[in-house]
Amino acid sequence: MTPRLIHKVTERPFSRVMGALTVLALISGCAVGPNFKRPVAPKDVEYAPKPLPEASASAPVQGGDVQRFVKGRDIPFEWWKLFESEKLNALIQEAFRKNPTIESALAALRQAQELVYAQQGLYYPTVSASYNVERQQLAGNLGGNSPGIQGNGQVIATTQNTPQDQGGHAPFNGPVTFNMHTAQVDVGFTPDVFGLNRRQVETLDAQAQSQRLELEATYITLSSNVVAAAIQEASLRAQIDSTKKIIEVNAHSLKILQDQFKLGYAMGIDVAAQEAALAQVEQLLPPLDKQFEQNRDLIRALVGHLPNEEVEETFELSSLKLPQELPLSLPSKIIEQRPDVRAAMEQLRAANAQVGVAIANRLPQFTISGSYGGVASQLPQIFDPGGLFWTLVGNVTQPVFEGGTLLHRQRAADQALLQAAAQYRSTVITAYQNVADSLHALLSDADNLAAAVKAESAAQRTLDITLKQQEKGYVNYLTLLSAQQAYEQALITRVQAQANRYSDTAALFQALGGGWWNRPVDSTAPTSVQTSDHR
């Protein structure tokens, strides 16, 4: 009967421990500190003080189409396909697969998510099991009872008594050798009474969300950079071709002057001046070649290639179509669509949670620990009633004096929250500025291209007429040189104006958020590695 009674007595306290843990887990539902409230979008915001035109100007040249802004239209994820270039599409997909910045951002996201999971583990009790076995030999002449073999609540002596010696001394016990087995389960729990752990989890979750948005921004930035590099290559190709044409015109003029000089119709100073003009134009070509090669190096790097690994895709302005209908998101949607704004909001949420952490650190902290196990000299008997043991420990710690450390940490957290709020507002303002800048640039680029085409056409006609007059001796060399220089400048300006329309179109898509929220399921960007969305 005794073993059964002992067994019942040892069961109840441990059951009470688990019951207490359950109750404390249920009451750990509150969290001190301010609850995060999502910032409200600015009201009555527009992209300019006055309404902007709904369409741009046009020009009779490649890339001179009218562009219309469609208000409220959503942005596709693969917005670059609107340029209708298979080479561009292939280049961006290769960049998504091979650019190491994507892999780095993805690893950072997974790391942030694992930290959230690790912190969430503190919601639960910790349970550990241990088993220890030892073998000892004790001296038998120390007095008292030596250890024996445990069984059925009795101790069976294992010592051997020696007979009395001839002097009549009392007998003594010999050394005792025995085994000792100990098995034990330890349970520890820190109830989150004031929400310290909840606020820590909230902080890490906000940081993980921010990292997810950083990954989205990495994709947007990478695709925008590839598009910009492709457009730059097309622009440089056109400028190089135009410069070569200008060199041909100047070389032709020099040949005419040299022939006239031989016949006595031109002066040597005119020939020398044309030679200098030709040399000046030829000097324009090496810098353009350098920019072109450096831009090709940039393209190789964007797609994850080394400098000696060529990229097959090449680009010309004639191979790119200028999108004629541009989506223009509602201003109220910008804070939803821009990854940088959303990331700033998550940083604000993290700072808000840290205020709660600082407050909770100043309040009492509760811990509960318990252990349950058995001890025996023989392993099969380790959980017999006579060898069972248990402990239950409760602890409350209240900071009393810490030199103002916790108080000042709370004040520092308050200031960090104010800083995060200001940074969020600054990011919102910058986002609207980016969109406004892109819209103004697109409208200005269209006007600039139209004017550049007119200027080039006029300069071309002037140069053609001047060349004919110069061949017949009706105009002097200075007039011809002036016409050549005007045409050269007009031609380069027109090419640059063409490229600007393509570049600023891509910049508008980036400024509006890049359409990451419309990512298809089979996209190369990750969709499964996400935390809870707070959009």
User: How do strand 388-397 and strand 126-138 relate by DSSP bridges?
Assistant: unpaired
Q: Tokens standing for 406?
A: 């916790």
Question: Tokens 């752990």 correspond to what residue?
Answer: 197
The angle subtended at Cα 54 by Cα 50 and Cα 57, nearest 5°, is: 110
Residue-level pLDDT at 223: 96
Give, as one character, the DSSP assignment of residue 264: T
3-state secondary structure (DSSP) of residue 126: strand
Q: Contact 317/499 with Cβ under 8 angstroms? A: yes
Q: Contact 341/423 with Cβ under 8 angstroms? A: no
The total of other beta-carbon atoms located within 10 Å of residue 120's CB is: 15
Closest CA relative to residue 470, chosen from 263, 323, 325, 253: 253
Q: Can you give the pLDDT of all 535 residues of the chain as single tens digits?
A: 333 333 333 345 545 555 554 555 555 557 899 999 999 888 889 999 998 999 999 999 988 999 999 999 999 999 999 999 999 999 999 999 999 999 999 999 999 999 999 999 999 999 999 999 999 888 777 655 444 444 433 344 444 444 455 555 555 567 888 889 999 999 999 999 999 999 999 999 999 999 999 999 999 999 999 999 999 999 999 999 988 988 887 888 788 888 888 888 778 888 888 888 899 889 999 999 999 999 999 999 999 999 999 999 999 999 999 999 999 999 989 999 999 999 999 999 999 999 999 999 999 999 999 999 999 988 888 888 888 999 999 999 999 999 999 999 999 999 999 999 999 999 999 999 999 999 999 999 999 999 999 999 999 999 889 888 877 777 777 787 788 888 888 988 999 999 999 999 999 999 999 999 998 765 554 444 444 443 3
Residue-level pLDDT at 24: 53
d(CA 145, CA 462): 124
Residue type present at position 39: P
Q: Tokens standing for 32?
A: 């001190």
Closest CA relative to residue 417, chosen from 347, 489, 366: 347
The DSSP result for 281-348, as a single string, is HHHHHHHHHHHHHHHHHHHHHHTT--TTS-------GGG-PPPSEEEE--GGGHHHH-HHHHHHHHHH
3-state secondary structure (DSSP) of residue 133: strand
Question: Tokens 């290639």 correspond to what residue?
Answer: 305
Closest CA relative to residue 505, chosen from 322, 328, 233: 322
d(CA 102, CA 97): 8
CA torsion 39-41-42-46 (nearest 10°) is 150
What domains lie within the chain, and their CATH numbers? 1-30+365-397 (no CATH), 38-128+192-363+408-518 (1.20.1600.10)
